[in-house]
Structure 1
């Protein structure tokens, strides 16, 4: 069984001792220096400092050879083990290199001891160099694989590549592997090869392929991975305010931060301290997930400063604090403004009017009332405020347009407050339109255009009034009023007259005091007209008489009046003649003859026994005549038989 090497620790001695040993070793064995200079010719160039060697360099020992156990890290070895470890390495070194034994005793002892303190990774280059610098190439070939077998795979590659270094470098400088230029071949090689010789070295021909593969393998640079950036904390929480409080608790609310980040939001910490101190203490043991928290078990009458901090993987965010300290005290009646209904909309008044607005409120103890206008304090010279325990009065003696604005009333009891806004608008009559012009004139029409007034009276324009004036009379007459457009057409003008036009502006206060008159005048030109009435052919409406309704036979009783009726038409109007039994009745008072609009009637008044017969109506004009007849029967009144007897 191969003996287990002693623990190796990285050399801690200064390099001066190694440099002192270098001349002694060089003088004692000059014959051995020549092979050391010739040997590195076949080795590959050494890799750069800090680079990793190829994996082929670790495959130098044959697979059949058992690998010795890896020595423990150099830091774990106690300092006392360094001196004993150097003795077994010094004896084989003296046998392999007799010339080195002639050197001074102190230099011969320090060189193996320094080589024994080199870590396992650093021992590989010394072993390769020792094989190249030894007097007997066969012995060097046998010792090199044995020394490489004790070195881990990571250390074998740089040891093979660094074999080409010059042999004049000190022993301690060769041990750190590529920090110094070169090392003496005799002392490091013998010290590193001695333990390998005791354990048994493989054949020399096994090392040659490993060196060839190590020379052909290119060096690869290993770059460390860039670590991810550390997470950042969230931004500051928002909108911290007091929701409620009583004698022992304070309830606060806030909004989450705007920027949370990729690491998320773990929760919130609520911290408090008494007013006048900076002794902040967290009141929640676990992180608060919601944006509302009740701070409990406080002393009545204390004034507390409160702040909220958001936490995540990046740490604490900036803290959000209340602007003022909170008095732990219950409020009997929270303040409340009861704004009247007519003040919830825009309150409009005219310039010069007196403003007197009363706004009631409630709260206990007595609230503190404050007023603002457009976000600024009120001008007490213009606006007077008088507040009682129940209401507040805003009074303006003579209003002006500058008094218009947004008035905000605030009532406050301790940390609770209520606000209400009212909009006051002071208006006046508008100015006249900026300009008026006659755009066009045609026939009896004139087209007008105008522009809106520059001064609207602090309110919207509701319409315009257009007036015209005849140049002959000079009187003004309104032709259009409450008109909303900026152009109008005036019609029905009189031919031959010349007109002027003016326009007034209107708003909710009324019509403007002045008007804008158009610079142009409009003349309606008189045009001659020759009128020829159309010629119509007169139609002949004449026709002979014609009865449209004939007479009907009738029967009547003696003493009962009756009437005969018929209708006739004709152009010209026909003359109507009544006859009885072919005899013209004429002007007999017993008969009444009427003819109205072609309707002819003959009334027989109380007919007798001789009034019966044939009655005829005859119509006659210049174009002809027409006749209709009927039979009238007059009956006797029946007499009972008793009366006859």
Structure 2
């Protein structure tokens, strides 16, 4: 049985302390050398006892003093890690001696390792460096002000929906702040509950989102929250829950082109207007007149899947107004309006009177009719009648003014006047007759015809075109021409060689409109000479002359032989 080891705590107080905590493992190797014999110095590295053998007991005497260059003994500032191996191997008062004897060899070798520690530390420098002083720290800055969230998004509404999804759009918040906008969170819950759940995992950047994978027939409450560094904004929610149901076609009213303007019909006509529309499923069609429900006793409405018919059997003026048709498919609707105007003939003018009468003229004035037939007045028709005959004649038609002057009346007659009104339907059935009568008085007229001085057109004969010398061929007729004027009409005399030709059949004399012609029929060799034309009247006479030469025809040389 090995001898009982001495308490290690007392020996540890006399051992020099290590300078740094990192040298503690180096001072206690796994295999420690055996304790030195009595009176011998302990080697630097001691061998540990074999496994299973009891550790050697330390000598009762004090250990060999450390070398002169060994570090100073540990003080109160020495780390507790330097004493940890010695305390671990030493038995305490609470540990029984048998348990201390059965400690492993490595724990028993700890005292020997601690005794060899001064030898390992002998190589450290004699003077140890003092620790560097700590640098002063900068003052801590104040915390930044807290960031605020944005205001709530605006203008949230449903853009589209079908059996499994709902598409919503909205606009960004009016107040974003310095923190900016990170995105949006879309939350839904079933109608009647408050179990709000986000449907997007990541923040939504755009202002449009499709909520997918919903159950057909569910009613969803939807809201949108803006998120930034300051947190969540107040939510904006749809005013009503949305029914998840497909809308195949949005309702659309196809108003015909002729109904886009005012539709005009006469009193008593049948009104039958068909207005087509589209929408699926079958839209709900409603009609109003001037914003009020229709009178079903007057107006009949018949609607099918494709159109709606407005039917009035016998129209009256009270049927005029603005009719509005509304086609609705769930949350979607479309409206169209048409203006129906029922017109009839106007009434006569309210009054007609004769304002003035002078000469052959009468001035009339009248006022517009009290009943215009539910449409504007387009003109007036004015008629007159002679009191003797009583027959009416139209003097003005489609006249637009409220006064007129009637002229070209017959002197001595008495006239009556009446006026009709006219609109786009036609002329009023009756007319308004003026109470007064217009009498055209006879007036004395002294007519003195103007005196005119007669002009003297008398003139002595004067030839405006004289005769010209001519050459003729034997056997070929020729003419002599000249022109003369004068008043009274001058007498023309033709002469040959100062001798009057007279009624010689060889010559033909013609004088028309002052043009004088002398035709010489087939002149011979003796018909040449000086021809003269003399014109004579009471105021004088004039003469012109010319020379006529008659030549023989040319004969070919063959005929001469």
* Residue 458 (structure 2) aligns with: 542
Which secondary structure state, in structure 2, belongs to the residue aligned with residue 478 of structure 1?
Answer: strand
Give 1:370 deviation, angstroms. 1.9
Unaligned residue ranges in structure 1 (runs of 5+): 1-233, 311-315
Q: Identify the match of residue 384 of structure 2 among 468, 489, 508.
A: 468
Which residue does 2:297 correspond to in 1?
381
Q: Does 1:423 align with 2:339?
A: yes
CA distance in 2, matches of 1:318, 1:504: 71
Residues paired across the two proteins, number: 405
- Structure 1 residue 486 displacement after superposition: 1.7
- Cα-to-partner distance string for 1:282-312 (whole Å, 9 max, x where unaligned): 97999999997766665431124568999xx
Please say if residues 550 and 628 of structure 1, whose CA atoms lie closer than 8 Å, have aligned partners that are also in contact. yes
1:255 and 1:379 mapped to 2: Cα distance? Answer: 44
C-alpha separation between the residues in 2 aligned to 1:602 and 1:413? 110
| Aligned counterparts of 1:256 and 1:449: Cα–Cα separation in 2 | 69
Q: Which residue of 2 aligns with 1:573?
A: 489
| Aligned position for 1:341 | 257
Is the Cα–Cα contact under 8 Å of residues 377 and 422 in structure 2 kept in the other structure? yes
Change in 2 beyond 3 A, CA 1:595/1:307: farther
| Gap change, CA 1:346 and 1:544, over 3 Å in 2 | same
Cα-to-partner distance string for 1:444-484 (whole Å, 9 max, x where unaligned): 22222222111111111111111111222211111111122
Change in CA separation of 1:506 and 1:573 when aligned onto 2, cut-off 3 Å? same
Report the alpha carbon displacement of residue 513 of structure 1 after superposing the two structures with TM. 0.6
SS in 2 for 1:459: coil
SS in 1 for 2:527: coil
Which residue in 1 is equivalent to 2:283? 367
Question: Structure 1 residues 280, 604: CA separation in 2 closer, same or farther (over 3 Å shift)?
Answer: farther
Task: Check the 8 A contact 2:157/2:238 in 1, yes or no.
Answer: no
Following superposition, the deviation at residue 280 of structure 1 comes to 8.4
Distance 2:409 2:206 in 1: 79
Q: Which of 620, 623, 628 is the aligned partner of 2:536?
A: 620
Q: Is the 8 A contact 2:385 2:391 kept in 1?
A: yes
Deviation at 1:640, TM superposition (A): 2.9
Distance 1:565 1:455, change over 3 A: same
Instruction: Answer with 1 or 2: which has the greater Rg.
Output: 2
What's 1:356 paired with?
Answer: 272
Partner Cα distance (2:389, 2:559) in 1: 98
Q: 1:242 to 1:410 in 2, by over 3 A?
A: farther
Aligned counterpart for 1:588 among listed residues 504, 520, 537: 504
In 2, are the aligned partners of 1:237 and 1:320 still within 8 Å (CA)? no
Per-residue Cα deviation, 1:166-219 (whole angstroms, up to 9, x for no partner) = xxxxxxxxxxxxxxxxxxxxxxxxxxxxxxxxxxxxxxxxxxxxxxxxxxxxxx
1:511 aligned counterpart, secondary structure: coil
Asked if 1:406 corresponds to 2:322, the answer is: yes
Greater CA deviation, 431-440 or 567-576?
Answer: 431-440
Give, in whole Å, the separation in 1 of the partners of 2:344 and 2:489: 77
User: What is the alpha-carbon distance in structure 2 between the residues aligned to residue 253 and residue 485 of structure 1?
Assistant: 61
Taking the aligned partners of 1:381 and 1:479, their CA distance within structure 2 comes to 47
Where does 1:21-420 land on structure 2 (aligned, <5 Å)?
242-251=158-167, 274-275=190-191, 277=192, 279=194, 298-304=214-220, 322=239, 325-420=241-336
Instruction: Give the Å deviation of 1:595.
Output: 1.0
Task: Give yes or no for contact 1:426–1:458 (8 Å, CA) kept in 2.
Answer: yes
Between the aligned partners of 2:162 and 2:290, the Cα distance in structure 1 is 34
Check the 8 A contact 2:255/2:275 in 1, yes or no: yes
SS of residue paired to 2:342: strand
Distance 1:401 1:390, change over 3 A: same
Corresponding residue for residue 488 of structure 1 = 404
> Residue 391 and residue 498 in structure 1: after superposition, are their counterparts in 2 closer, same or farther (change >3 A)?
same
1:529-560 deviations in Å (ceiling 9; x for gaps): 11112222222221110111100011111111
Deviation at 1:255, TM superposition (A): 9.6
Shift of 1:408: 1.5
Closer, same or farther: CA 308–541 of 1 in aligned 2, 3 Å: farther
Structure 2 counterparts to residues 6-21 of structure 1, below 5 A: none
Give the Cα–Cα distance (whole angstroms) in 2 for the partners of residues 412 and 447 of structure 1. 63
TM-score in terms of structure 2 length: 0.64
Q: Tell me if 1:515 matches 2:431.
A: yes
Query: What's the counterpart of residue 70 of structure 2?
Result: none
Aligned partners of 1:255, 1:487: CA distance in 2, in Å? 65
The answer as to whether partners of 1:309 and 1:320 remain within 8 angstroms in 2 is no
Q: Distance in 2 between matches of 1:435 and 1:585?
A: 90
Cα distance in 1 for partners of 2:294, 2:434 equals 45
Seen in structure 2, the aligned counterparts of structure 1 residues 282 and 420 have a Cα distance that, compared at 3 Å, is farther
Kept in 2: contact 1:237–1:308 (CA 8 A) = no
Kindly indicate whether structure 1 or structure 2 has the higher relative contact order, using CA contacts under 8 Å at least 6 residues apart. Answer: 1
**Superposed displacement of residue 524, structure 1:** 2.2
Q: Secondary structure at the match of 2:258?
A: helix
Label 1:254 to 1:444 Cα distance change in 2 as closer, same or farther (>3 A).
farther
1:446 and 1:290 map into 2 onto residues whose CA distance is 82
Structure 1 or 2: more strand by fraction:
2
- Distance change >3 Å, CA 595–CA 505, structure 1 → 2: same
8 Å Cα contact 2:420-2:427 kept in structure 1: yes
* Residue 565 of structure 1: how far off its partner (Å): 0.6
Alpha-carbon distance in structure 1 between the residues aligned to 2:444 and 2:237:
91
Name the TM-score, length of structure 1 as normaliser. 0.56
Gaps of 5+ in 2: 1-150, 227-232
